[in-house]
């Protein structure tokens, strides 16, 4: 279960929101960064510009099952496997 942390946001004279330093650092929000936000009707949702929450890597399209609804049935490509070099490059590009 996710734990949510409440925190205050200051609003300056021009209506700009000022996030606490801890939050800015945690999400890699730097000055002059444009971040995405949405009006949820009962609040604002602000998403981080740089923090990757999840990454799904499909290292192979090979499968020993044969589901009728499989997306692979609509592909022309042969099943394949990602090379170790590409996989390692993806992992090394993550900011862990």
Residue closer to ligand SF4 by CB (options 9, 70) is 70
- Residue 59 beta carbon to ligand SF4: minimum distance, rounded to whole angstroms: 13
Element containing residue 47 per DSSP (H, E): strand 44-47
Contact between 70 and ligand SF4 by CB under 6 A: the answer reads yes
Contact between 72 and ligand SF4 by CB under 6 A: the answer reads yes
- For residue 39, give Cα distances in angstroms to 10, 43, 45, 75, 79: 18, 6, 7, 39, 43
Residues that contact ligand SF4, how many (by CB under 6 A):
6
Q: How many CA atoms lie within 13 A of 5 on its CB side?
A: 7
> Footprint of ligand SF4 on this chain (CB under 6 A)?
63, 65-67, 70, 72
């Amino acid at each position: 279960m996710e734990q949510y942390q409440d925190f205050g946001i200051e609003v300056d004279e021009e209506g700009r929101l000022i996030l606490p330093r801890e939050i800015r650092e945690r999400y890699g929000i730097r000055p002059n960064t444009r971040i995405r936000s949405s009006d949820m009707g009962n609040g604002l949702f602000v998403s981080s510009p740089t923090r990757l929450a999840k990454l799904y890597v499909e290292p192979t399209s090979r499968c020993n099952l044969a589901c009728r609804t499989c997306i692979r049935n609509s592909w022309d490509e042969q099943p394949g496997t990602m090379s170790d070099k590409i996989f390692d490059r993806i992992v090394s590009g993550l900011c862990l």
